[in-house]
């Protein structure tokens, strides 16, 4: 079972406590050089208590994990008398201490703070509830903003399957089960736009003294990708930043794009501007470019897909599931008929599907880490 923070310093602020608790539970949640999260100031405050004669420069005291903070962490980890573990704090296979605050370090710091300053007084346990948001592209206008019961049920089953083997550990820190919100996207500015309702549902999770928002996992595909991108910033501003924000062949027609680049195989990738405040601990954007090429060939004015500045790319244009749709279309002699259906004839769905697979895998791994 993961160590639970007890010191007054680390537990007095619910948001800071939640972030530091993640460090105690997740190997990948560590804090390191150049980190500027709010928790850095709390860690520095702890170091002033635990490392003798510590002096940090003003630029680091503003909450920056700089070189002097690194050195103080190293001294704490490297000195048994300071860390109270009877030895150096090193990971398996390490010979020398590093300068990050991870699982072992945060526990040692917390235990020493309890000895020096005391533990937090017993209070009602504040649980955290993870939230999974799934905004799927609609197949027709009647689905705009409506619940997506199929994927909502699938996601609920997925998170339950992941959590069930560790249910007791999960309930210690989180509420069970995570909240799953699954809806179809809708045009922005339309009355059916689901962004406001999703934000309200997320914020309703918070119950002062009892429940806090845990990790938020956000997915948006096709038209829903635009909703997800703008919702991400709104949630962040409301105090609900995302653990994972991912997008599948999102319909970027309404985003500004002012540059393009050529790939080695001669395709054109449109580069779209990133909406303000869009951020998460992990992000990726899955897209294919063949749909844009077909748009030009057919003269159909519709969706555009491509890269977004500052978001890791997952270009699946040449993945077999996508490329097969292009090859089949070319072999068929570029038939006539419904131009819109030809444009999306498997290309879009295949790219979205690949993104969904990646999101589900990362969601499963993310929820399982605690």
236 phi, psi to nearest 5 deg: -60, -45
What's the confidence (pLDDT) of residue 265? 79
The average pLDDT across 216-236 equals 91
pLDDT at 272 over 90: no
Kindly indicate the confidence band of residue 296, based on its pLDDT and cuts at 50, 70 and 90.
very low
pLDDT at 302 over 60: no
Nearest to 15 by CA among 48, 33, 42, 47: 42
The average pLDDT across 68-93 equals 95
Neighbouring C-beta atoms of residue 207, cutoff 10 Å: 12
The average pLDDT across 354-364 equals 90
pLDDT at 164 over 80: no
174 phi, psi to nearest 5 deg: -120, 165
What's the confidence (pLDDT) of residue 112? 95
3-state secondary structure of 270: strand
Q: Quick one: CA torsion of 279, 282, 286, 292, rounded to 10 degrees?
A: 20
> Tokens representing 362?
């990362």
The average pLDDT across 301-311 equals 74
Q: What tens digit of pLDDT does each residue of 167-201 get?
A: 766 666 665 678 999 999 998 888 999 999 999 99
Among 9-18, 39-48, 203-212, 286-295, where is mean pLDDT lowest? 286-295
**b/e string for 136-158 if b means 16 or more Cβ within 10 A?**
bbbeeeebbbeebeebbebbbeb
Among 106-110, 222-226, 299-303, 356-360, where is mean pLDDT lowest? 299-303
The average pLDDT across 95-123 equals 88
Domain boundaries, the chain: 8-117, 129-368
Q: What is the DSSP string of 64-93?
A: ---HHHHHHHHHHHH-HHHHSSSS----TT
Could you tell me which CATH number the domain at 129-368 has? 3.40.50
């Amino acid at each position: 079972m993961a160590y639970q923070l007890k010191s007054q310093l680390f537990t007095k602020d619910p948001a800071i406590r939640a972030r530091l608790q993640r460090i105690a539970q997740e190997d990948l949640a560590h804090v390191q050089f150049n980190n500027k999260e709010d928790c850095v100031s709390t860690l520095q405050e702890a170091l002033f208590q635990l490392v003798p004669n510590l002096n940090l420069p003003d630029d680091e005291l503003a909450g920056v994990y700089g070189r002097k903070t690194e050195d103080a962490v190293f001294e704490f980890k490297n000195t048994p008398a300071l860390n109270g573990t009877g030895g150096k704090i090193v990971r398996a296979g390490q010979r020398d201490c590093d300068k990050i605050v991870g699982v072992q370090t945060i526990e040692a710091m917390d235990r020493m703070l309890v000895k020096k300053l005391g533990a937090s007084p017993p209070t009602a346990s504040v649980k955290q509830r993870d939230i999974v948001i799934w905004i799927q592209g609609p197949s027709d206008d009647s689905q705009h903003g409506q619940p997506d019961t199929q994927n909502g049920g699938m996601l609920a089953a997925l998170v339950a399957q992941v959590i069930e083997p560790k249910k007791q550990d999960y309930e210690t820190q989180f509420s069970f089960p995570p909240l799953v919100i699954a809806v179809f996207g809708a045009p922005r500015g339309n009355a059916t736009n689901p962004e406001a309702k999703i934000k309200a549902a997320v914020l309703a999770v918070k119950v002062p003294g009892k429940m806090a928002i845990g990790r938020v996992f956000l997915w948006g595909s096709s038209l829903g990708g635009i909703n997800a991108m703008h919702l991400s910033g709104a949630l962040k501003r409301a105090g609900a930043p995302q653990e994972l924000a991912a997008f599948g062949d999102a319909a970027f027609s309404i985003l500004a794009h002012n540059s393009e680049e050529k790939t080695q195989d001669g395709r054109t990738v449109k580069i779209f501007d990133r909406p303000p405040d869009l951020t998460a601990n992990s992000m990726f954007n899955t897209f294919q470019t063949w749909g844009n090429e077909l748009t030009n060939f057919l003269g159909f004015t519709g969706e555009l897909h491509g890269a977004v500045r500052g978001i890791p790319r997952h270009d699946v244009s040449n993945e077999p599931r996508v490329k097969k749709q292009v090859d089949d279309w070319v072999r068929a002699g570029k038939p006539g008929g419904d131009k819109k259906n030809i444009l999306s004839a498997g290309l879009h769905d295949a790219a979205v599907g690949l993104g969904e697979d990646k999101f589900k895998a990362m969601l499963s791994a993310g929820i399982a880490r605690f």
